[in-house]
A and B are shown apart, each in its own frame.
Chain A
Amino acid sequence: MKRYISRRILVSIPTFFGITILVFLVSSLASGSPLELLLSNQNISEAEIKRQSIKLGLDQPLYIQYFKWMGNMLTGNLGESYRTMQPVMDMIINGLGATFLLAITAVILACLISLPFGIQSARYQNKAWDNISSVFSFFATSTPSFFLGLVFLYFFSVKLKILPIGGMNDIGQENNVLSLLKHLIMPAIILSFQMVGTLIQFIRSSMLEVMKEDYVRTARAKGLKERVVIIKHVLRNSLIPVVTYLGMEIPLLLGGAVVTEQVFSWPGLGLLMIKSIAARDYPVVLGITVLVAVAVLVFNIITDLIYGLLDPRIRYD
């Protein structure tokens, strides 16, 4: 087991470097460097631009720039933001907390909502419950989150005035948990909604598949109640596709839920990403992208380990 994990980590290292090279290349090829923003300003002299370019290291060959960036990153230094002049690491860590809270809440909500729907629609296939949850999951998947977010804002914040319109805290109330929850609830629901639709369908189809298995008949023949058969024997064996989906979805959420965070001005990585792209603040954009890449690699390993917990036939050697 330990050997398996260390081997997986070792294998991830070249992948990690591969990704960073790719990301770095793409960003340097992208049209519009921060200098162009300066250039478009008529009042700035050639000399000033040159000075800035040397200061940012943009005058050096690409591979030197990459090695510098990489070297700094390995010591935990992601450089400074062109936009705010703050260390990128600090900005990412700040945003990560907010994003993590939002993502975890959304994932938990999504599981809590989709499990009963998925289970019931598998159990009562093609009956009323199934149809209701099919329609529900169809709407959940196909409604754009910015639209749903605005609808929610309109009702709960503008009309009913029971929920705040955005942000994470009220000013001066940074440690008030109730206030935090009030700010969290709408973006978390909106973010979970996209997952709910997919999860219901995954749980349903996976359970219907397992229900045909001989061992489910064996469980019934033992005299177990239908509820026990469904939870202990069917659901337990249906979780692998669900885990696979979450294992792919969570790292992407950690990169920030761009649309949801923007609609609700949630101060997470998604919002930071949007602002940084608009300002061509490449150190921040690169930093967040690398973070997502690392998260994907880490969650790949975690997903594989959970497979092993779910299915004893999977061995790590």
Chain B
Amino acid sequence: MDEYLLEVRGLKTHFLGNKGEIAAVDGVDFAVKKGETLCIVGESGCGKSVTSMSILKLLPPEGKIVEGNIFFKGNDLVKMSESNMTAIRGNEISMIFQEPMTSLNPVYTVGKQIGEAIRLHQHLDKKQTREKVIEMLKLVGIPAPEKRVDEYPHELSGGMRQRVMIAMALSCNPELLIADEPTTALDVTIQAQILELLKEIKNRLNTSIIMITHDLGVVAEVADYVLVMYAGEVVEYCDVKTLYKKPLHPYTQGLLNSLPKIEETKEMLNIIEGTVPSLYDMPSGCKFWPRCPYAQDVCKKERPKLYEKDNHKVKCFLYRDFEKGEINYGA
């Protein structure tokens, strides 16, 4: 039987700002199986980080999950008490953040910071913890781990710090690893190394991964499934091969076309025009219509549903006949 490790259903996360309430995540569904990698892609500000923060319930005070369920191994995290959440965080679900330069506490050694999670969840003593920390540093490819363990974050480069973050996240053998743009802040060669490391770890430990990125190049490398988000909603959701072969949503097509291809000249580079609308000022109907080359009257008036065929979900009126079996592949 195909049990999902994580199943997110109808998640809505709102922020109560001084300009009113905004729906940063506005009804998101997805699921991850054991050992699978799901990539969440979309332009900056579309709610990727808020989605991942919602899963661990690490939202800032002004953010709130207002609707939906997050089932992890059958238990709904949305309803779970804070003390039960602390037993899951860092232990069964752990997270890597975008900013390796600021995600480590400057006043503690990396050994102490990694060890903190190990001591907390695995109840090891001081000496065993230190050994385990060194082992983890070795696992993520940090040279001279016996020496690095006593160094402070400022003594390490960005790439090394991100490896430390990964070591910390993996130290308690989590079943789910959420990586929020883990390579965005790093330069290209380091980026490739970190991705390679994550792939290797996934194969070795069979960890499920949710990888958040706005880089479709990264998606092609690591994903099994892809969730495309736009303005807090899922606009397309399918497996990675299908996405590259047959992208359905005009937004996804735009994202893929904006990827530089070797044979294309610069002028042909197709970038989606316009920007993500402000969450305070959402267009009526489909949120993408002002930027959509195929926008029809219906798009401006009604919200499209998530139409599905063969496990390929897309939120666009072009595909409203999916259920009837008539497919019109947009472009």
Contacts and interface: CB of A to CB of B under 8 A. Distances in A.
A233 B87 contact: no
Nearest to B86: A223
B58 A217 contact: yes
Contacts of B56: 221
Interface string B75-117: 0000000110011111100110101001111110000010011
A137 to B, nearest CB: 22
A215 B105 contact: yes
A221 B102 CA distance: 14
Interface in B99-144: 99, 102-107, 113, 116-117, 120-121
A209 interface: no
Given A223-B91, A223-B120, A313-B152, A218 B107 contact: no
A2 B102 CA distance: 31
B114 to A, nearest CB: 9
B107 A311 contact: yes
Nearest to A220: B58
A224 B106 contact: no
Most buried by B among A218, A220, A226, A312: A218
A237 B107 CA distance: 7
Given A221-B95, A224-B120, A312 B86 contact: no
Interface in A223-267: 223-226, 233, 236-237
Contact of B104 (A218, A224, A225, A226): A218
A312 B154 contact: yes
Contacts of A312: 106-107, 152, 154
A223 B117 contact: yes
A207 to B, nearest CB: 14
B105 A224 contact: no
A19 B262 CA distance: 72
A125 B102 CA distance: 24
Nearest to A239: B107
A313 to B, nearest CB: 5
A222 interface: yes
Contacts of A213: 102
Contacts of B11: none
Contact of A223 (B89, B102, B165): B89
A310 interface: yes
B168 interface: yes
B107 A310 contact: yes
A236 B97 contact: no
Contacts of B113: 218
B106 A223 contact: no
B294 to A, nearest CB: 40
Contacts of B154: 312-313
Contacts of B90: 221-224
Contact of A215 (B86, B94, B95, B106): B106
Report the interface size class on chain A: 20 to 34
Contacts of B61: 125
Residue with the highest number of chain B CB atoms closer than 10 Å, among A125, A220, A222, A312: A222
A214 interface: yes
A215 B104 CA distance: 5
A214 B116 CA distance: 17
A222 B152 CA distance: 18
B243 to A, nearest CB: 29
A71 to B, nearest CB: 47
A73 B97 CA distance: 61
B268 to A, nearest CB: 39
B133 to A, nearest CB: 13
A70 interface: no
A95 to B, nearest CB: 39
A219 interface: yes
A312 B104 CA distance: 13
B106 A214 contact: no
Contacts of A215: 102-106
A103 B285 CA distance: 69
Contacts of A224: 86, 90, 116, 120
B61 to A, nearest CB: 8
Interface in A265-317: 310-313
Contacts of A236: 107
Contacts of A225: 83, 86
A108 to B, nearest CB: 24
B325 to A, nearest CB: 45
Instruction: List 7 A-B pairs, minimum CB-CB distance, nearest first.
Output: A223-B90, A222-B90, A223-B89, A214-B102, A215-B105, A222-B117, A214-B103
Given A214-B97, A221-B97, A224-B86, 18 more contacts: A125-B61, A214-B103, A215-B102, A215-B103, A218-B104, A218-B105, A218-B113, A218-B168, A219-B116, A220-B89, A221-B94, A221-B95, A222-B94, A222-B116, A222-B117, A223-B120, A236-B107, A312-B152
Interface of A: 125, 213-215, 217-226, 233, 236-237, 310-313
Interface of B: 56, 58, 61, 82-83, 86-91, 94-95, 97, 99, 102-107, 113, 116-117, 120-121, 152, 154, 165, 168
15 contacts: A214-B102, A218-B105, A218-B165, A219-B105, A221-B95, A223-B86, A223-B87, A223-B91, A224-B90, A236-B107, A237-B105, A310-B107, A311-B106, A312-B107, A312-B152
